[in-house]
Structure 1
Amino acid sequence: MSISKYRRGGVIAGVAVALAGTWAVSHHRASADESDSAKPTLSASMQKVDDVKAQAPNFSAIAAKYGPAVVHIEVVKENPDSADGHSGALGSGFIVSQDGYILTNNHVVEDADEVTVKLTDGRTFPARVIGTNKAGDVAVLKIGGSGFPTVKIGNPENSHVGDWVVAIGSPYGLDNTVTSGIISAKSRQLSEDSPTHMIQTDVPVNPGNSGGPLFNLDGEVIGINSMIYSRTGGFQGLSFAIPIDEAMHMKDQIVQGSNGSQLARGSHPRLGVAVRPLTEDEAQQVGADGGVLVVRAAGPARAAGISAGDVIVAVNGVEVRDVGQLQRMIARADDTVSIVLDRDGQQVTVQAELAQG
């Protein structure tokens, strides 16, 4: 989430929001041990905790190794209501390539007139917004130079509910703040039309954390901190991160689009279905071993012949295990997908032309 530099109080509504139009927070709170006497080797501090009775792991090696790749973002935008005609906002981001590409949230830099990136070594750079995906709340920035520190990208599929996670960001402008918690749930869809199934954590996040990385214990980024649920504007135990595989896919589309090859800015493939998991009884009734149940079909899905009651069992030859996986497969798909349905005990294959929106 991001935070306005001139309006810091009561920013978040009592629902999961990305502080649209201003800032959205998402980072965690757990102090990192910075003393010289408490710097264990990276491998030792990143050892995964398999014993539930074990003490909380030491996150200092993750902070030391990857903290320099986490950046503080300052934004200036026009504001006719302010004294000087401008307002400012703060957020977080992280460097994904040595030539200066940075990932953050769209809502951090939306409508920005000027973006400045600050590194932990004190260097500041003007940043260019390469492009954004508004529906997915992802933005790509670029700073000039080379040899920048970078994060390591992980695979959210390998993470599980209950795993420890670590966030680094700039809550309320406090650069490189380290916080920690666990994964509370996966594949949270916060609204029916949301293209992203979020990772839910209990990591303390506050305004200014938006766009910062969520790490696993191997020091790999598995998500972008983006939202919190709050009735007061502060952290209340519910934080949400965009899975990094989805974000990196959006990033690749944005960069390719900036080079003139594809992608309308902010577009996102849509199938047009509302789906939910099958209950055991439903699976037995339709004789399906897996897949997800179509509750409503519209747009491309309806045009392809998909209807409520169908069970989607495969997309482009890959078996569908759950709702989140289906969503990710559609988000990464080309214009047309092949979908295998289970309908009244028989398999039917349809071709669907995805919409962009």
Structure 2
Amino acid sequence: MKYKLSRYVINIGLLLGLVAMPVMAQNLPDFTQLVETYGPAVVNISTTSKKNNEETSKEKQPDYRAIPGIPEDSPFYEFFRRFFDNEGNDLFEERPATSLGSGFIISADGYVVTNNHVINEAQEIIVRLSDRREFTAKLIGSDNRSDIALLKVEATDLPTVKLGSSTNLKVGEWVLAIGSPFGFDYSVTAGIVSAKGRSLPSDTYVPFIQTDVAINPGNSGGPLFNLAGEVIGVNSQIYSRTGGFMGLSFAIPVNVLKDVVEQLKAKGKVTRGWLGVLIQDVTGELAESFSMEKPAGALVAKVLPDSPAAAAKFQVGDIITKFNDKPIERSADLPPLVGSTPVDSKVTTTVIRQGKPTTLEVTIAELPPEDDIKLAVSSKGDKTITSDRLGLSVTDLSAQKSETESLPENGVLVVQVEAGAARDAGIRKGDVIVMINNINIKNVSHFKEILAGLEEKTIPVLIHRQDSPLFLAIKVPAKK
């Protein structure tokens, strides 16, 4: 009886499993109609560019004079000289460089979107459709900061995609990509949205969509669709240690695309709003050092001279919590908001200054073509002190002018770091301490004076490292 009961239970389990399989299959998305409808609007893009191989050939061309064992009066010497001076040059003649990528048609009259890095420095751009038609494309304009390029081909009645919105995109939502990975045309891969609003080091003005869709070289510039068949992003980058897909793909939101395309059509370039601050995230330690209840906002590490922020009286150490009535939870939230703000518009911002909320009104300017900040320091070495309490030694410094910016006039240079509070906080040799506990450092003597008055608690320290400002939180130990 026991045997029969067990067999009965097993049979019931198998039956339930067979019933559940089609039910689970029904819950999975079906992308076939989407691909049939919008796949023809996805294109393959190939480019050719001719590099200046004159210098390259000189680098690669062997020097016959350097071949050992061949004296100048040898007949072999003359043979090699003629070969490399004449026939040998054929080996180094200029050859076109090619690249492959993806794109998609956004209008029936021939406007095509792709990544800027796909067509960068290309002398010829070929757009190939799924029906094997090929067109030579004209570059309407490109934007390096968003990695978007707009092309135009002379054709009519072309298949097009439907642009959606990335505003209501949800993490966990199904998405599909069509592109040409490794040169394989019109490949389809699917996955889900892993995260939104990702900020990458080289693209601070783009709140990237992170997905687990299999994206590989050649997919760049292709569309990312939602289940409604709408383009909600442009596949742009992957995170990989091998050059292939590793589960982290990044797409440019379609809302960014729309703004860039509109500007490229109208004027061939893109303008962005500019505030003029260098910012960083507020960590738990920094929040404690600034007496905040929880980490939030964008911490101002530097106010650039002659910038809108300087005119509005922003200060280093301010924590921006609202911009144009929109909350700033992380520092990555701020650049896209500022960049999309119209030039010359007045915006109200809320900052936390010395633990209290303060309202500032700023007039947004146009982002300069090159906003990189160059800093340089040199140590006079004429006065050095060591703080056993923090575990570091500092010396006076002098500011030097650079092409775009001058250094802060005050501060001290870290010349040695030992085990202690400074090392635990992340301070390194070569850092310049500009501010400690919200007090600007004048010189070594002033630094020593401030240290003497510090209590046992966590305080913010502003440093300059490798041409960039950075706040650190240091736990000051009790006085010995």
Give the TM-score, by structure 2 length: 0.57
Alignment of 1:68 with 2:40, yes or no, is yes
* 1:182/1:203 contact within 8 Å kept: yes
Task: State the partner residue of 2:298.
Answer: 293
Quote the Cα distance in structure 1 between the aligned partners of 2:24 and 2:347. Answer: 43
Tell me the alpha carbon deviations over residues 209-260 of structure 1, each in whole angstroms, 9 at most, x when there is no partner. Answer: 11001111111111111111111111111111111111221111111113xx
Shifted more, 221-230 versus 343-352: the winner is 343-352
Distance 2:200 2:105 in 1: 27
Give percent identity, aligned residues only: 38
Pick the aligned partner of 2:337 from 309, 329, 332.
Answer: 329
Partner deviation per Cα, 1:291-333 (whole Å, 9 max, x = no partner): 7232424323344322344343443455556555533322221
Query: Is the 1:275–1:293 Cα contact (8 Å) retained in structure 2?
Result: yes
- CA offsets 1:264-309 (integer angstroms, 9 cap, x no match): x465433234143687x95996689x97232424323344322344
Mind listing any 5+ residue stretches in structure 1 that lack a counterpart?
Answer: 1-50, 259-264
Task: Report the 3-state secondary structure (helix = DSSP H, G, I; strand = E; otherwise coil) of the residue aligned with 1:251.
Answer: helix
Q: What is the distance in 1 between the residues matched to 2:225 and 2:109?
A: 22
For residues 154-165 of structure 1, the aligned pairs below 5 Å read 154-165=164-175
Residue identity matched to 2:97: S
Within 5 A, what are the aligned runs for 1:170-185? 170-185=180-195
Question: 1:224 is matched by which residue type in structure 2?
Answer: V
Aligned pairs, how many?
300
Q: Secondary structure at the match of 1:197?
A: strand
Once the two structures are TM-superposed, the CA of residue 74 in structure 1 deviates from its matched residue by: 0.9
Distance 2:282 2:176 in 1: 30
Q: Which residue of 2 aligns with 1:105?
A: 115
Q: What is the deviation of 1:341?
A: 1.2
Equivalent AA in structure 2 for residue 270 of structure 1: W
Equivalent pair of 1:294/1:307 in contact (CA under 8 Å): no
Contact 2:279 2:331 in 1 (8 A): no
State the 4+ residue runs in structure 1 displaced beyond 6 angstroms.
51-54
Indicate which of 225, 232, 254 corresponds to 1:244: 254
1:339 aligned residue: 348
Letter in 2 for 1:338: V
The question of 1:270 aligning with 2:279 is answered no
Paired with 2:229 and 2:302, the residues of 1 have a C-alpha distance of: 40
Structure with bigger helix share is: 2
Is the Cα contact below 8 Å between 1:99 and 1:146 reproduced in 2?
yes
TM-score (norm 1): 0.75
Q: State the SS of the aligned residue for 1:356.
A: coil
In the other structure, the counterpart of 1:16 is none
| Alpha-carbon displacement from aligned partner over 1:173-202 (angstroms, at most 9, x marks no partner) | 211110011111111111066321211111
Within 5 Å, give how 1:59-138 maps onto structure 2: 59-79=31-51, 80=53, 83-138=93-148
- Shift of the 241–278 alpha-carbon distance from structure 1 to 2, 3 Å rule, reads same
RMSD (CA atoms): 3.0
In structure 2, C-alpha distance between the alignment counterparts of 1:249 and 1:139, rounded to whole Å: 12
Quick one: which amino acid aligns to residue 214 of structure 2?
P
Q: Tell me the alpha carbon deviations over residues 77-115 of structure 1, each in whole angstroms, 9 at most, x when there is no partner.
A: 013257542111111011111221111100000001000
Counterpart code for 2:301: R
Map of 2:149 onto structure 1: 139
* Greater C-alpha radius of gyration: 2
Q: Write the distance in 1 (CA, Å) between the matches of 2:127 and 2:203.
A: 32
324 and 152 in structure 1: CA distance in 2 versus 1, 3 angstrom threshold: farther
Identify unmatched segments of 5+ residues in structure 2: 1-22, 57-91, 370-480
Residues 277 and 225 of structure 1: is their aligned pair in 2 closer, same or farther, counting only changes over 3 Å? farther
* One-letter amino acid matched to 2:350: L
